Amino acid sequence: MTSAIEVHDISKSFGENLVLDRLQLSVSQGEIFALLGPNGAGKTTTIEILTTLVLPDSGQALVKGYDVVQDSTQVKRRISVTGQSAAVDEVLTGYENLIMFGRLMGLRTPEAKDRARELLKQFDLDDAKNRRVATYSGGMRRRLDLALSIVRHPEILFLDEPTTGLDPRSRQDLWHLIRALAKGGTTIFLTTQYLEEADQLADRIAVLDHGRIVAIGSAGDLKKQVGDEYLEIRTRTGDICTTFPIDGSVASVQAALHSLDERFHHALVSIRRPTIDDVFLNLTSAPTNRQPTEHAQGEEQ
């Protein structure tokens, strides 16, 4: 499958803070690729380099075959970015925001109006098209922000924590829209702190820790890396006392139970399969207690 993104040995530091350490990854055309990692792992810096906003210190990154440093203009023509907060004008209506953005992207006024009407329907904002964005809910703003990012049909869409702050229903609505974009052929590169989001959306997930990829694969592949199943010991009120990784065999269950002392004789036992939470906790370490630079403070996402 053709690669949409290739990253080879990218490193980036801010002062003495090494954010990316010889990063390697590849994203296939048309896939939804999720980058997970704790605060300060390097997720936002990765997107900033791939979208030509920040220069790497060393290494090479190619987007649709174009070098992000040497061919940044060609890269910009093929991508769009949605950041962690909605980049919309609250004074204008949703319709006016889309028309303005279309004009900025080089569309003629009739084309910009046609595209605005199309996107308002696609993103379920038609009923609110003439309302000022200041009156929109958080979910509506994020849908409008996503609509703005695809006015010119980008080949690759970068989403930096797109559902931060949304309620569960609004988050699922946005997931539906992201899946539809990918189904239409757009490559999606997203970062997220919602582990369920990566599990639900991504074809592949990369786990980033201290600037390096520590695991990559489908959600199912990553879950297998941290064990087949878990034995959980709970109190009768449902609180988890302790957890044991097991391989599904009677012997592994017996070994786990035999390790318990008499305090747990009246506890409840359950078995569950690994989750993306387990992957995250097993493969990443706690953030360092560093004092970030002004730029790195933005990287705390």
What digits encode the pLDDT tens for the residues 3-34?
999 999 999 999 999 999 999 999 999 999 99
Q: Tell me, yes or no, whether 242 lies in a domain.
A: yes
In a domain, 110, yes or no: no
Domain match, 166 and 256 both: no
Please give the full DSSP string across 3-37, using - where no structure is assigned. Answer: EEEEEEEEEEEETTEEEEEEEEEEEETT-EEEEE-
| pLDDT for the residue 197 | 87
Question: Quick check: is 103 in a domain?
Answer: no
Is there a single domain that holds both residue 231 and residue 176? Answer: no
* In a domain? residue 89: no
Three-point CA angle 142, 143, 146, nearest 5°? 85
pLDDT computed for residue 62 by the predictor: 97
Specify the pLDDT at position 84: 67
Judge if 161 and 219 occupy the same domain.
Answer: yes
Query: What pLDDT does residue 227 have?
Result: 65
Cβ(58)–Cβ(68) below 8 Å: no
At residue 135, what is the residue type? T
**Which pTM was predicted?**
0.78
Calculate mean pLDDT across residues 77-91.
83
Please determine, for residue 252, whether its predicted confidence score (pLDDT) is greater than 90: no
pLDDT per position as a tens digit, 57-71: 999 999 999 999 999
Per-residue pLDDT tens for 102-133? 999 899 999 999 999 999 998 999 999 999 99
Instruction: Give the residue from 208, 223, 238 where a domain finishes.
Output: 223
For the chain, what percent of residues have pLDDT higher than 90? 48
Question: What is the full DSSP assignment across 203-244?
Answer: SEEEEEETTEEEEEE-HHHHHHHT-SEEEEEE-TTS-EEEEE
Q: Are residues 70 and 20 in the same domain?
A: yes
Does one domain contain both 217 and 263? no
Structure-model confidence comparison of residues 139 and 288, the more confident one? 139
The answer to whether the Cα torsion of 88, 78, 35, 23 is positive or negative is negative
Q: Are residues 247 and 216 in the same domain?
A: no
pLDDT (tens digit per residue) in 183-192? 999 999 999 8
What CATH number has the domain bearing residue 40?
3.40.50.300
Query: How many domains are there within the chain?
Result: 2
Pair (38, 65) in one structural domain? yes
Query: Are residues 201 and 233 located together in one domain of the fold?
Result: no
**CA dist., res. 89 & res. 106, Å (int):** 19
Q: Are 73 and 165 in a shared domain?
A: yes
The 10s digit of each residue's pLDDT in 213-249 is 998 998 888 877 766 677 888 888 878 888 787 777 8
163 inside domain: yes
Is the pLDDT reported for residue 294 higher than 70? no
The whole-number pLDDT of residue 206 equals: 93
Same domain, 15 and 59: yes
pLDDT at position 58: 97
Q: Which amino acid is at 103?
A: R
Sign for the CA dihedral angle at 88, 94, 96, 98 comes to positive
Q: For residues 66 and 166, state if they share a domain.
A: yes
Rounded CA gap, 12 and 256, in Å?
44
Q: Does the pLDDT at position 295 exceed 80?
A: no
Range of the domain at 201: 3-78+154-223
SS3 (DSSP) at 157: strand
174 and 161, same structural domain? yes
Percent of the chain past pLDDT 70, that is, above it, reads 92
